[in-house]
Each structure stands twice: as structure tokens, then as C-alpha cells.
Amino acid sequence: MNDSRYQEALEYLYSLTHSGIKLGLQNTSRLLQHFNNPQLGIRTIHIAGTNGKGSTAAITESILRAAGLKTGLYTSPHLLDFRERIQINRNLIEKQDVTQLILKIKSAAEKLEIPVTFFEFGTVMAFLYFKEQNTDVNILEVGLGGRLDATNLCESDISIITSISHDHMEYLGDDLKQIAFEKASIIKPSGTVFAHIPDNEIFNVVNSLAQSREASVYRLNSEFKVTQSEAEQGHQIFDFIGEKDEFKGLKLPLIGQFQAQNAGLAIAACLKFFESINENDIRKGLETVQWEGRLEVVSDHPTVILDSAHNEASVRNMTSELCKNIKFSRCLVVLGLMKDKEIDKIIKILSQFGDRFYLVQVNPPRGEDPEKLQEKFKKYKKPVQVSESVPSALQAIKEISNPSDLVCITGSIFTVAEAKKYFQYEKSFSNSGNSPRSGK
């Protein structure tokens, strides 16, 4: 495979990011029709939500793969490699397939004069690839919202809604009922939806839409529930109680009560989707799941955590879980944020959690200027410094950190990605010779 052809194709694809985000199904629909609608005729689980949809997709995929199904997994964004977005049985799409699909879709888009966005293009790629690979089931994560997201052209048996809170308000608005309607619009006629929506008023929006489509609704903590029984730095144990099934002592190598809840949604969906699934498949799927960048432990002494929390709800979850699950003397935070986030609310939460802050610029021009972040921190009277980059922030921390400290790298997936690159090259963060390990 000519690597330069792959790079050229990828550069073309990334050039489409300049067209921004355009919600709507017409362009994607026309392209898919040109390719004889590869998204139809393949059983699909479709996952929406403000937070937790990537983790839930990964857990769902892992369980169904353990049950012997050939899985297609489509998630976004990626951490280090575009190919992470499109996987078969958790194997990244091959570079030669990326190249061929980009050239094929580019040719069709130009011929049909369709102005396709980066995400629309990637979604068509995923559908074509999964069709070519003859998957048994596709697990699709919504990119943004649900109703007008390119993935919503799929034919899903089952929908999952992981959470409803504020994010992407410039596209979805700031009314939680409207956000719930947008996300619930992935529910298909006569389908089944599994939802984690504690707020009754918000849940009623989802329930009403499901009823209008004659879809069945299963709600976490109503028709099924999870109970966390043990939590450690690298894993947790929880019980699942459903209407017909009860599984005790399930082990999940992802920390955080919210991950047990995501796993509960995944288990309930898999039991409905594949009736011959057994308890061993579920246990094996959970124990072997991998999802990087969410409460991921990459080094010890000090404990170094990567978490791509980027909105108020996810930052609140992250700080709460770290306080519950990890003992530390000080918390040193590396923070890089995007301009379109609830920056004031995020900083307020983090200022009550962290002892010292290192502010970085990520993904300019979309990323917020760290000096502007520094201004916002002033009223909280915490030590704050601006660093040139994530690696320079980590080098500065390395010089002052103690083995009992917690280092938290957060605020954006771009911040986490920079840290992942750093830890790939650094054999250890500490001076005690411990090698990085993953909390996956």
C-alpha cells in the first residue's frame, strides 16, 4: 500500500472540516442512494446522548463480539488516528480501504455536486465499509444531536439514549426538552429504546416520542438497574438486575459509577438484541472492553488520569468519581478547552477540585486562549500557569509532583490526545521507574 496515497486521501478528507458542521440528512441521503443504501438491511444499535455514548458503544460492541457476532463500530471523534472511527471486531479499518473509499466517495460527491461535510463523508465511508465486510451488527454513535445527524439514516432495531444535558448549544439550543427531542428522534417506528434519564420531565419527552412511533421504552432504574458493589483504581464490580435476568459481580475495567450505568444500558440492549446471548458472553464482553480517554489511568506515583470531560455534566462526574475512587494529597490539573464550551461553569467545578492548574492551547483556532482561561481563574485564588503545550505542562509537573499526587489531564479530547502522544514516547511519568499502564 502506498502510504503517500493514504496521506493524500486523508488530507483531502480533513480539508472538508473547513465546511464546518451542517445538520441535515439530504446530502448524506443522496450519497447513500448513489451507493444503493449500504446502511439498510444490517441490524443496528444506534446510540445518542450528551455524555457516555462512546463508552456505551464500546461496551455494547464488546459484549456482542464476545457472543460471536461480527461487529462494525462507528464512533467519533478519534484520539490519535482517523481509523479509530471505523472498526470491525475492534480492528481499525485498513489504510488501503480508507484510501479506496475516500476516492470512491469523492468521485461520487463531485459527480452529483453534493457539498459533503467531514462527518457526512466519514459516515458514508463507515456504512460502505460495513456493507463490504458483511457485518452481523453495526453499533453507531451519533455525532451531534440525533434527528438531523448523518447516522440517523441507519435502520436500527434498538436505540440507546445515555444522558441528556447541555452541550453543543449553538446547534441544539439550551432547552433540555428540545435537546431530549433531538436525541430521542433516533428512535425508529416499532423499535426499542433504552434510556438513562433520571429527570421525569425530560424522560416524558422521550417517552411521548417513543409512544408516537409505537416503540418500547426501557428506563434505567425502572425496568432494569445496576448497583455498584466495589470500586478500585483500575476496575469496578457491579450487579445488573433486569426484568428476567440478574447478574451478580460483573467486572468492568472502566471506573466511575456512570460507566456502570452505561454498562447497564449496553447489557439491557444486548439481551434484547441477541436473545441467545448468555451470561458468559456478557461477563467476557465487560471484562475485555477497552475505551481510552475516560478516567484512564496511564501512570502511577503520581497517579496520572486522562479524561476527555468537556461539558459541565461530564466534568462534575469526573471530579466526583476521582474523589471517591482515588486517594491523593494534591491534584495538579492540565486543562485545555474549546471556545464553544460552558467555560465558566467548568472552571468553577475544577477550581473546587484542583490545587494547581496548567493551562494549554489546543486545536487553534477552535481552542480557547489559555491566557483568557487564566483571567477566569483569578477569582478562585489558585496557582495557575500558562504552558506552551501539553508536553511542556507535563514536564513542569514532573519536576514538582510527589508520588501521592493526582495529575488530571482534561477539558477536551484534543488535550487528552496530546497527552496520549506524550505517554507513548515517555516510558514513565514518575522517577520511580514505573511504566505507564492503562486503566482500560
- Is there a single domain that holds both residue 269 and residue 343? no
221 in the same domain as 185: yes
* pLDDT, position 169: 57
pLDDT at 440 over 70: no
| Parallel/antiparallel/unpaired status of strands 384-386 and 356-359 | parallel
Residues 86 and 224 reside in one and the same domain: yes
**pLDDT band at residue 320 using 50, 70 and 90 as cut-offs:** very high
Chain segment 4-56, per-residue pLDDT in tens? 999 999 999 999 988 777 778 999 999 999 999 999 999 999 999 999 999 99
- Over the Cα atoms of the chain, what is R_g? 21
Question: If you search the block for the grid coordinates 480492528, which residue do you land on?
Answer: 91
Model confidence at 438, in pLDDT bands (50, 70, 90)? very low
- Predicted pLDDT of residue 437: 33
Q: Which of 256, 287, 318 is the last residue of a domain?
A: 287
What is the phi-psi region of residue 81: left when phi exceeds 0, alpha when psi lies from -120 to 50, beta otherwise?
beta
CA atoms within 13 A of residue 60's CA, in its CB half-sphere: 36
Residue 433's pLDDT band (cuts 50, 70, 90) = very low
pLDDT tens readout for residues 390-422: 999 999 999 999 999 999 999 999 999 999 999
CATH code for the domain of 88: 3.40.1190.10
**In which order are the strands placed within the sheet that holds 216-219?**
91-92, 86-88, 71-74, 137-141, 44-48, 158-161, 192-195, 216-219
Segment holding 335, helix H or strand E: strand 331-335
Of 234, 255, 287, which marks where a domain is finished?
A: 287
- Do both 270 and 329 map to the same domain? no
Q: What is the mean pLDDT of the chain?
A: 93
User: Order of strands across the sheet with 356-359?
Assistant: 296-299, 303-307, 406-410, 331-335, 356-359, 384-386
Q: Which of 254, 287, 320 is the last residue of a domain?
A: 287
In a domain, 432, yes or no: no
Q: Give the mean pLDDT of 287-308.
A: 94
Give dist(CA 411, CA 391) in Å, integer. Answer: 15
Q: Domain limits at 265?
A: 3-287
Class of residue 381 by CB neighbours under 10 A (exposed 0-12, middle 13-18, buried 19+): exposed
Residues sharing a CB contact under 8 Å with residue 396, sequence separation 6 or more, in sequence order: 358, 385, 387
Would the CA dihedral through 302, 307, 311, 314 be positive or negative?
negative
Residue 427: what pLDDT?
A: 59
Residue 436: band (very low, low, confident or very high) from pLDDT cuts 50, 70, 90: very low
Q: Is residue 8 part of a domain?
A: yes
User: Of the spans 175-179, 213-217, 322-326, 411-415, which averages the highest pLDDT?
Assistant: 213-217
DSSP state of 153: G
- Supply the CATH number for residue 384's domain: 3.90.190.20
Residue 337 lies in a domain: yes
pLDDT of residue 172: 61
Placement of cell 492503562 in the chain: 438
Q: Is the pLDDT of residue 91 over 90?
A: yes
Phi and psi at 72, nearest 5°, equal -110, 130
Average pLDDT over residues 154-165: 94
Q: Does 266 share its domain with 310?
A: no
Q: Is residue 156 part of a domain?
A: yes
Instruction: Over range 58-77, report the average pLDDT.
Output: 98
